[in-house]
Amino acid sequence: MQILLTKSEYMALKEENEKFKKEHKEIIQNLCTQVAENMHIKFWGNDVAKIWGCILVEESAAYCDECPVQNVCPNEFKSWSK
């Protein structure tokens, strides 16, 4: 099944999505931070999964490079290694 939208319908959906993200930014950020601080992932060739951590938590990760929620995290000041 395929649903086709007009440009105005598509733009309305995008605006609704952005409005939702702005209204719920604090909740989304809290969830992302909890995942980053508790989810074990394999990164940088490690054989054992470890917790990456979140840059927003003191004494945690210094960068967002391998954060498991980096694509949905609403933090505007992400830190990347060089």
Give residue-wise pLDDT tens across range 2-41: 889 999 999 999 999 989 988 999 999 999 999 999 999 9
Q: Does residue 57 carry a pLDDT above 80?
A: yes
Count CB atoms within 10 A of the CB of residue 42: 11
- The domain locations on the chain are 31-82
With beta carbons less than 8 A apart as the criterion, state whether 63 and 81 touch: yes
Provide the token pair at 59: 């004494």
Say what the pTM is: 0.74
Cα–Cα separations (whole angstroms), residue 42 to 52, 54, 58, 68: 9, 15, 22, 10
